A and B are shown apart, each in its own frame.
Chain A
Amino acid sequence: MSRLPLEQKVLSENDRIAQRLRERFLERGLFCLNFVSSPGAGKTSLLEGTLERFSRNERVALLTGDIQTDNDAQRLARFGFPVKQITTGGTCHLDARMIERAIEDWPLESLDTLLIENVGNLVCPSSYDLGEAAKVVVLSVAEGEDKPLKYPAIFFKSDLMILNKTDLLPYVSFELAKARANALQVHPGMEIVELSCTTGAGFDDWMKWLERRRESAKAVAQS
């Protein structure tokens, strides 16, 4: 019996494809975000609000993942930007190969922003790199402020946490300060934006974050 060391990533095949995507995105100055949350936290509403605020000549495209139905793609398509639904047929997360296939026939050079809405799930999407510049985790105040402690992986790997549905705060026992502290405990220095897709409060902060990160991605591509 002998033991052979085998130092490699379990998901090396996914990581290899994700890296290939990342390089393609970087070359073109294409800024890509991967949105993750539990089902019903408001990813699609956040994206609707975001598209609504973009001017029509923005070069934005969306991919939206679900286990079944193309409901989200239909909701998002009305803003006139290219949208494609990825139906995973049971798989609880998107992987890099699904992204590569989905954008096969898209002219990437005509885009500068790609927004990917992952399958609603706080666990599995955290393991799969999609080649994104950053992950954004959405947590709604209807869920509970201990979620970052219960699902540390996704909060640790996300650059930004969006605390959504703040309009519901008067009706739920959710302590914003505690949620922030929990997220920062898991991921010191993480950026946090509070917003409500219903009232629009806080959207300016989110759009500013997006713009700032988009600009820095462009600057990297040009350098």
Chain B
Amino acid sequence: MHELSIANSILEAVRKERERLNGSRITKVGVRIGELAGVDPDALNFGFEVLVKDTEFEPLALAIEFVARRHECSRCGRVFTVVEYKVNCPACGSTDTHCIGGDELDLAYLEVEES
């Protein structure tokens, strides 16, 4: 259960951005979480709600985009989504594919109300 620390890191970033944007109200923060990031979206949502409640951040929504693991075929170059750990290339069948994404833990965007 490290989602509370992660929620806290998200709020730290929001705090920094708020200072930078002085005066504008941040209403939503968007994050991108890969399936290999080891972060549970429900637990993160819960931790985020707990940390935001009754603070100066309220109301602040968290939008989570959960992204799948993607591989690229080293032989034919096809990029594909890995479903249930099947890493063979769906185009040419090669087993020589490599991971190009799916472990994201990124801050993607902020939604801001102009003051």
Contacts and interface: CB of A to CB of B under 8 A. Distances in A.
Interface residues of B, number: 35
Nearest to A4: B110
Contacts of B114: 1-2
B49 interface: no
A10 B9 contact: yes
A92 interface: yes
A186 B85 contact: yes
A9 B105 contact: yes
Q: Which secondary structure dominates where chain A touches chain B?
A: mixed
Interface string A146-171: 00010111101100000000000000
A72 B6 CA distance: 27
B101 to A, nearest CB: 12
Interface in B1-48: 1-2, 5-6, 9-10, 12-13, 17, 21, 27, 30-31, 35-39
B13 A123 contact: no
Given A10-B9, A152-B35, A153-B36, A2 B111 contact: yes
B114 to A, nearest CB: 7
Contacts of A95: 5
Given A92-B1, A127-B6, A157-B103, A3 B35 contact: no
B38 A127 contact: yes
Contacts of B10: 10
Contacts of B35: 152
Contacts, number: 94
B20 to A, nearest CB: 10
A140 to B, nearest CB: 20
Contacts of A177: none
B58 interface: no
A105 interface: no
A11 B9 CA distance: 6
6 contacts: A6-B107, A8-B13, A10-B105, A11-B6, A153-B37, A153-B103
Interface of A: 1-14, 91-93, 95, 123-124, 126-128, 149, 151-154, 156-157, 185-186, 188
Interface of B: 1-2, 5-6, 9-10, 12-13, 17, 21, 27, 30-31, 35-39, 85, 87, 95, 97-99, 103, 105-114
